[in-house]
Amino acid sequence: MKIKVAGVKKEVQDGLTVSQLIIDENVETPEYVTVTVNDEFLENDQFDSTVLNEGDNIEFLYFMGGGQ
């Protein structure tokens, strides 16, 4: 099936979960990543149970603290 990951179209296997995609994409510091699927934020405990579908748009986000 085809999905879009961080703006790049990819061909992936059916039944792929968000957790497996994080592994496959070699996401840096996965314990701190926030994931959106079709602009909907997922909780970390949903990564294992969320199966991706044809045409899904996935983004990996990191929130930075700081400022003055």
Q: Domains in the chain: how many in total?
A: 1
Full residue range of the structural domain in which residue 43 is found: 2-61
CA pair distance 61, 6, nearest whole angstrom: 9
Residue at 51 is within a domain: yes
Model confidence pLDDT, tens digit, residues 10-52? 999 999 999 999 999 999 889 899 999 999 999 999 999 999 9
Does residue 19 lie within any of the structural domains? Answer: yes
Q: Is the pTM higher than 0.75?
A: yes
Contacts by 8-14 with C-beta closer than 8 Å and gap 24+? 12/52
Q: H-helix or E-strand containing 22?
A: helix 18-24
Report the CATH number that the domain containing residue 34 is assigned in CATH.
3.10.20.30
67 has a pLDDT exceeding 90: no
